[in-house]
Amino acid sequence: MTAIGHTDFHFAPEQKVYRGKVREVYTVGEHLVSIASDRISAFDHILPSLIPYKGQVLNQVAAYFLKATQDIVPNWLEAVPHPNVSIGKKCSPVKLEFVVRGYLAGHAWREYKSGARWLCGVPMAEGLRESDPFPAPIITPSTKAEVGHDEDISKEDAIRLELCSAAEWDIMAGYALALFARGSEMARQQGLILVDTKYEFGRYGDQILLIDEVHTPDSSRYYYLDGYEQRQALGQHQKQLSKEFVREWLMEHGFQGKEGQLMPAMPDTFVEDISNRYIELYEKVTGRTFIPQESDHPLKDMEEAVSEYLKSIQ
């Protein structure tokens, strides 16, 4: 299998291209063509190695959950003509990430451990341990940076800076909590706990639509339900299914994305481990067997699939 690094497609003369950390998004008329590559990022940096099948996993998990939650919130997705590709409505993105946290983990735990008891204007009680549940899920938004690091922000500051209106905030926050409840329910059916995740929204006419990915390994953290209570009682680390292990490996090798730090080379065995974990997450969260699309010419296959779909809707 040839891993997919970058794409350079020409679907239309007037197209525009946005190149993100792991996706490339082509604007073709009133449609977006989102390509999930096999790049992987952590600490807002693209890592040096490609991860085979990661793009297929990411795109298909996102499509699975977008379809499973469209009764809660309208979303941008219209078609998945190739395992790495989603096509949908062109929206104007709200420059916020709605991070919903059900448990004290990841960034929130690192802040808490350093002494912080407020995160994005939301209080966190004293006496919590890593991986303890919050009394109710909390929303800890961040800015959506074009370059560099996303930054924590409070609801009040997001409205004051006109990233969204108060009415839009209420709509998006309601959607985010409803999506988290559905995702948590679906995760438990698969023996998992949805720990935290992020949602992004866009404006489409006078509507707010869910955009980007949903409940994927790049946007979410999962714990295994079996043994969770025992591990918490013993003060042990939770067994998790996310890309947090990639961040932990980087930290062990002296990299957290800070100025002056050198990114470590990733050995082939670790790259293979990441690929296997992404496939495991797909199968675990969806309950389906991952069937990779193998090709010696994935870019050609992708371009043909997208071009055929775009012709069909003209």
The CATH number assigned to the domain holding 193 equals 3.30.470.20
Report the number of distinct structural domains present in the chain: 1
Q: Is residue 154 part of a domain?
A: yes
The bridge status of strand 240-241 relative to strand 220-224 is antiparallel
Mean pLDDT value across the chain: 94
pLDDT in tens, 264-290: 999 999 999 999 999 988 999 999 999
Q: Is residue 278 part of a domain?
A: no
Q: Is residue 141 part of a domain?
A: yes
Residue 218 has pLDDT above 90, yes or no: no
Cα separation, 303 vs 2, in Å, equals 15
Sequence-distant (≥ 6) Cβ neighbours of residue 112 within 8 angstroms: 104, 119, 124, 128
pLDDT in tens, 184-197: 999 999 999 999 99
Q: Is residue 128 part of a domain?
A: yes
State residue 314's pLDDT score. Answer: 80
pTM of the model: 0.90
Q: Is residue 108 part of a domain?
A: yes
Of 138-152, 171-185, 223-237, the least confident:
138-152
State residue 148's pLDDT score. Answer: 55
Q: Is residue 230 part of a domain?
A: yes
Q: Is residue 72 part of a domain?
A: no
Q: Is residue 88 part of a domain?
A: no
User: Residue 124 sits in which domain range?
Assistant: 93-246
State residue 312's pLDDT score. Answer: 94
State residue 240's pLDDT score. Answer: 87
pLDDT in tens, 62-77: 999 999 999 999 999 9
Give the pLDDT band (50/70/90) at residue 1: low
State residue 149's pLDDT score. Answer: 62
